[in-house]
Amino acid sequence: MTTSIKLKDMQFYAYHGVLARETKVGNNYVVNVCMNANLLRACETDNVDDTISYAIIYDLVKAEMEQPSKLLEHVAMRIYKSIKSKFPQITTLEIRLAKNNPPISGDVKSAEIIIRE
């Protein structure tokens, strides 16, 4: 049996980007995480120690978002590695990281990178 856990639309203000302005002014970012694992034991025991804590997942994402990077790809991969390292029982993992209103010449709501296993 596989169970999915999703953390949707986590909001962060961070300082990622190539342009000097992005690293000084910052921007709004949205992170979505979807993971699958066999959590049958948690379903039966009702014990938080038998599952993947979404509070810990949030803290891992937050810690990586607080470290500035030039590229969204770099931040997303750090998030991915951090989660997989803490919870090796995850069988599939998807990280979506979006920068709202990216500094490009055009009306674009967001730029998003997706890393998926």
Q: What is the CA radius of gyration of the chain?
A: 16
Residue 49: Cβ-neighbour burial (10 angstroms; 0-12, 13-18, 19+): exposed
| Mean pLDDT, range 23-27, rounded to an integer | 93
Report the distance separating Cα 112 and Cα 31, nearest Å.
9
pLDDT, tens digit (0-9, with 9 covering 90-100), for 55-113: 999 999 999 999 999 999 999 999 999 999 999 999 999 999 999 999 889 999 999 99
Q: Which domains does the chain have, with CATH numbers?
A: 3-116 (3.30.1130.10)
Q: For residue 53, give every residue at least 6 positions away whose Cβ sits within 8 Å of its Cβ, in sequence order, or none.
A: none
The pLDDT value recorded for residue 117 is: 86
Catalytic residue positions, numbered: 99
